[in-house]
Structure 1
Amino acid sequence: MMLTKETIYSKDASGKKLKVERVFDAPVEQVWKAWTQSDLLDQWWAPKPWKANTKSMDFREGGRWLYYMEGPDGSRHHCILNYKTIDTNKSFRGVDGFTDENGNLNTDMPSMDWTCVFIPVGNTTRIEMEITFASEADLEKIVEMGFKEGFAAAHTNLDELLANQ
């Protein structure tokens, strides 16, 4: 069966949630590892030619992932993901935001509350993500920054990583 390699986006009626759905051609355990292990995340999370670099990762409830995305010109965008709930190989929830290089939250930029659900479909995995924002304006700001295009490009990177494992 040929998969449609497309990241599907929809906004809920409140305007404060962005729903994202994507199918990956690998079993849940393999896709889960790619989303939860820093050495794998660094290989796909940033859209090319950008690169993701983990500073530290503690994947547990109450833990966090500190990372930055580095552009080809050397510019860096620092981020944090604070893990709230984890149900291994099924789902995790965390709050993602932009930071300075020391991991201090940049409150001028929107934070995003992510829920990622991993659903086995035969030998493939469907991920359903719900990203909640404080306001519709915050959601629109992230979209205007190129989130949809960048995240879809990162998913293509993940396809390549999964195919080569």
Structure 2
Amino acid sequence: MNNNLLFDFIVDKPSKTVFVNREFAAELSLVWDAFTKQEILDQWWAPKPWASKTKFMNFEVGGRRFYAMVSPEGEQHWSCQRFTSITPKTNFKYLNAFSDKDENLSLPGSEWDLNFSEQNGITKVSITIYNESLERMEQQIEMGFQGGFTMTLDFLESLLPTLSKK
């Protein structure tokens, strides 16, 4: 892990927003693919020892990703991401909500805004997560979102060099 790379995780309760900024020592196109392709997402989008299992994904405006985070014992926590805006290699946005296995959403959800930029082979991902309710945001934080998402992004960092060789 390159300890010189930027990593910020800021919780702003008054605005019900979480800001995450993370740099990766990889080209923008590879990092973009890691966030937007099902076969790569399922390799890292869960804190270990949990795994990500996508039931279906259609990465286009109006499309969605329906997936579960699965524990080693087989416990499943389902979520749905509904893509609202995509500017290739630069930005995408989605509405995220927990759900049951039949995709019945548990609202309120959160709006994710992901921005990508590259400079000198370092790709920066800036994520803004706006929560529709302070209660939902606090529930996520209590459930260990910061630690879990940090572990997940760390795992992506370790995975990227193996992806660039493929």
Tell me if both proteins adopt one fold, taking TM over 0.5 as the criterion.
yes
For 1:122 and 1:104, the matched residues in 2 are separated by 43
- Where does residue 117 of structure 2 map in the other structure? 119
Cα offsets for 1:17-70 (capped at 9, x unmatched): 110110011011000000000000000000110000010000000000000010
**What's the % identity of the aligned pairs?**
33
Matched, 1:92 2:92: yes
- Where does residue 104 of structure 2 map in the other structure? 104
Report the Cα offset of residue 3 of structure 1: 4.6
- Structure 1 pair 5–47 and aligned structure 2 pair: CA distance change class (3 A): farther
* TM-score, normalisation: structure 2: 0.92
- Where does residue 35 of structure 1 map in the other structure? 35
- Where does residue 154 of structure 2 map in the other structure? 156
Note the aligned Cα RMSD (angstroms): 1.4
Please state whether the residue corresponding to 1:35 is helix, strand or coil. Answer: helix
- Match of 1:26, as an amino acid? A
Matched, 1:77 2:83: no
Any stretches of 5+ residues in structure 1 without a counterpart? none
Report the Cα offset of residue 13 of structure 1: 6.4
> Would the aligned equivalents of 2:13 and 2:134 in 1 still touch at CA under 8 Å?
no
> Would the aligned equivalents of 2:55 and 2:67 in 1 still touch at CA under 8 Å?
yes
Q: How many residues align?
A: 162
> Would the aligned equivalents of 1:68 and 1:78 in 2 still touch at CA under 8 Å?
yes
Matched, 1:46 2:46: yes
- Match of 2:82, as an amino acid? N
- Structure 1 pair 5–146 and aligned structure 2 pair: CA distance change class (3 A): farther
- Structure showing the higher strand proportion among its residues: 2
